[in-house]
Amino acid sequence: MAFFTYKARDRQGALITGSLEAVDKGQLEAALDGMGLIPIRVDVGMRLPSLDVFRRYIDVKEVPEQEIIIFSRQMATLFGAGVPLMRALSTLELQAGSKKFAAIIKTIRTDVEAGSSLSVAIAKHKRVFPEFYPHMVEAGEAGGILDDVLGRIASMLEKNAENRAKVKSATLYPKIVVGALVIAITVLMYFVVPRFVKMYASFNVTLPLPTRMLIHISNVFTSYWHIGIIAVAAVFIAWRFYVLTPSGALRWDGVKLKLPIFGPILLKSVLSRFSRVLGSLYKSGLPILQSLDIASRAVENKALSAEIKSIEVDVRAGKTLSAPMSVAKHFPPLVVQMVAVGEDTGNLDEMLDKVAEYYDQEVDASIRNLTTTLEPVLLGFIFVIVLFLALAIFLPMWDIIKVVKR
């Protein structure tokens, strides 16, 4: 999307100036025409930094995901009951959990009243709705099964929220332990170790290597702690900006899938989402190429999205869906086999739903075992730290005792 400034006149001839986002000048002029304005001049403008940039940087959601889930579930219920779209939106606007979301629903309703489709109106709120949301709504509108699609969206969002809550619960204890360990090490480096350094300096003995390392670390910590904080903040900010770039996001998403312990869980979750979205779109009657295109954006992982795009190219060239999947890096044989069976039997959507259910169960099992998996790693880390500190502090004492005895 590009940012444009424009000058236009309304039906009464008054001069109007403003700015809008659009794909190109043609789309902007069409938007102005829909607003009842006659464009006079359109220029590519420059957007000044706004709060949206910082929201994107710190990844702050404008509306809690739970409100999106409730909105989707209620919309599905109202549509299923035969309530017209405008009335459903008006009802949900009044029942919104926050003024912010109520204003967003009002904007969506206004756009629909002006002739926009529901999917296009929702797509304008990228900071609120997930990327796959308007595409699935578009598929529901095209296939006449909007209530079913909204119900599937709500179920997907609920599952994602449930998995995140389980991961947070499973990692709470390790976070507390690591946090306490960091605080303890900070206190040691800043208050305890300097006292030992002064004591050891009064003895003419050669300090062991672990002690010299600890003293050096303590000196750096006490003398340059402010520089360390600035350096860590600078690295974090640079990393955040890097992963917001297309190449950075692609590499980081690929790294996340390879992380020990968490990587396999993330991959299973992404495969479940891909299978469920693709199955839903295909079932709604969308062509497989369009379904793959939407599913590639719905997975919310650039590495897997790139693979899906590559598969889409091969399918466009006349290959079956399972053939390029079999050579893709992140698609396990189970997915390939189930897709192949679905293609052979003509039940691709059902097979994809079964794949999604299988990986949902796998994710649940992996999250349940997450604490058990993390405990040995955490204990090993603590053991190494405590052993190093014990050797660094007590080894010189033994040497000093030997000197005193002499």
Whether residue 284 lies inside any domain: the answer is yes
Residues 15 and 84 in one domain: no
Whether residue 384 lies inside any domain: the answer is no
SS3 (DSSP) at 16: strand
Q: Taking the chain, what is the end-to-end CA distance rounded to the nearest angstrom?
A: 80
Domains: count for the chain: 3
φ, ψ dihedrals at 181, nearest 5°: -65, -40
Residues 273 and 309 in one domain: yes
Whether residue 387 lies inside any domain: the answer is no
Residues 37 and 139 in one domain: no
Residues 318 and 281 in one domain: yes
Residues 263 and 363 in one domain: yes
Question: Which residues have a Cβ under 8 Å from the Cβ of 398 and sit 6 or more positions away?
Answer: none
Whether residue 189 lies inside any domain: the answer is no
Residues 65 and 116 in one domain: yes
Residues 30 and 127 in one domain: no
Q: Exposed, middle or buried by CB within 10 Å (0-12, 13-18, 19+), for 305? A: buried
Kindly report the pTM of this predicted structure.
Answer: 0.69
Whether residue 279 lies inside any domain: the answer is yes
Assign residue 9 the CATH number of its domain. 3.10.20
Whether residue 104 lies inside any domain: the answer is yes
Residues 133 and 62 in one domain: yes
Residues 399, 388: Cα–Cα separation, whole Å: 17
Whether residue 16 lies inside any domain: the answer is yes
* Domain encompassing residue 350: 258-368
Full pLDDT tens readout for the chain, 406 residues: 556 677 776 666 666 666 666 666 776 677 767 666 777 777 765 444 444 444 444 344 568 888 888 898 888 888 888 888 888 888 888 888 788 888 899 999 898 888 888 888 988 888 888 877 887 787 778 777 788 888 888 888 888 788 778 878 877 888 888 888 888 888 888 888 788 777 776 666 677 888 888 888 888 888 888 888 899 899 999 998 888 888 888 899 999 999 888 889 889 988 988 888 888 778 777 788 888 888 887 787 888 988 999 999 999 998 999 999 999 888 999 999 999 999 998 888 889 989 988 998 898 888 888 878 888 888 888 888 888 888 887 777 776 666 555 5
Assign residue 262 the CATH number of its domain. 1.20.81.30
CA 101, distance to chain mean position in Å, is: 21
Whether residue 231 lies inside any domain: the answer is no
